[in-house]
Structure 1
Amino acid sequence: MTTVTGHTKAIPASRVIGTNVYNTSGETIGTIEDVMLDKLSNGIMFAVIGFGGFLGIGERYHAIPWSTLDFDKGRGGYVVPFSKEQLKAAPSYSVNELTEDDGRLARDASYEHYRVEPYWH
């Protein structure tokens, strides 16, 4: 699936991890900590965005639908089309919770919260 600006080229996960993520107002909301892969569809379930915490302590993670991230060369990071309020109200998880039920709980809650068309339909 292409992004809003049409980006479709392959990129290694190692290059994505650690990249800043911004909201629509240009504020940094976190960094991509990981990506969750769907082995059955060969797609990306979601990006794992770290919010808050200090040195990894108390940090919670948000599952953001991969198709909503759009790389902005000027910022050197990804922009998501969500308001600060949407992001604050989004479900958050511990690392273990992200993988419960093969990641489906976090995936489904994320796609529903952000009202994104599920890639698996």
Structure 2
Amino acid sequence: MRAIGALILGIAIVAGLAVATSRAAEEPPAGQSEAKAPTAASPTSAVPVTPKDAAPPPSVTIIGASEAHGVLGRDVRSAADEDMGRIVDVIVDRGGHVRAAAIDFGGFLGVGSRKIVVDWNALRFGKIANKKDSITLELTKAQVAAAPEYKEDTPIVVLGASGSLQPLQAIQ
């Protein structure tokens, strides 16, 4: 039933975008009036104003609620079901590729915690141990506890499960 609702919602969104796009193409830009037919008082012929670089309608993709989730603020567990912290940031390279996640690790109720960075490939997304949509880190609590703290505007030390993380290449 949810799938049908999502499909109907998607169709409504696409239809709404199509109507809005066609209305925008029909209306003159703000501050301009529509071109009028030439009259005896104005011998020059008027040409209708149309935007030359009208943007095509955006593409629309519908992702089911059970197909994808945001990750910021989500709890992370170890394979041994230990609390590993919460994802507080996602690190991307200059090409926009996801490289790592910053996890707020340790402490109690936010006191004494610190941010550490783990390789994105060390995270597993899926169902484990009867917990729907869990995030599991393929590192032990001791490994994460030994990781250096992440601080903005300093070189990032990324902790990886297999040690196969490649260093970032500097982009000039």
What is the TM-score normalised by the length of structure 2?
0.49
Unaligned ranges ≥5, structure 1: 1-9
Unaligned ranges ≥5, structure 2: 1-66
Residue pair 1:90, 1:113 contacting (<8 A) in 2 also: no
Spell out, residue by residue over 1:73-104, the C-alpha distance to the aligned partner (whole angstroms, 9 max, x if none): 233321111122211211123xxx1x314xxx
Equivalence for 2:81: 26
How far did residue 51 of structure 1 move?
A: 1.2
Residue pair 1:70, 1:80 contacting (<8 A) in 2 also: yes
Residue pair 2:119, 2:160 contacting (<8 A) in 1 also: no
Is 1:65 matched up with 2:119? yes
Q: 1:78 to 1:120 in 2, by over 3 A?
A: same
- Tell me which of 126, 149, 164 is aligned to 1:116: 164
> Distance between the aligned counterparts of 2:161 and 2:126, measured in 1?
24
Higher helix content, 1 or 2? 1
- Tell me which of 49, 66, 88 is aligned to 2:103: 49
- Tell me which of 50, 70, 84 is aligned to 2:141: 84
Q: Which has the larger radius of gyration?
A: 2
> Distance between the aligned counterparts of 2:162 and 2:92, measured in 1?
19
Q: 1:61 to 1:73 in 2, by over 3 A?
A: same
The aligned length equals 100
Q: 1:86 to 1:114 in 2, by over 3 A?
A: farther
What is the TM-score normalised by the length of structure 1?
0.66
Residue pair 2:122, 2:137 contacting (<8 A) in 1 also: yes
| 3-state SS of 1:72 partner | strand
- The share of aligned pairs that are identical, in percent, is 29
How far did residue 59 of structure 1 move?
A: 2.5
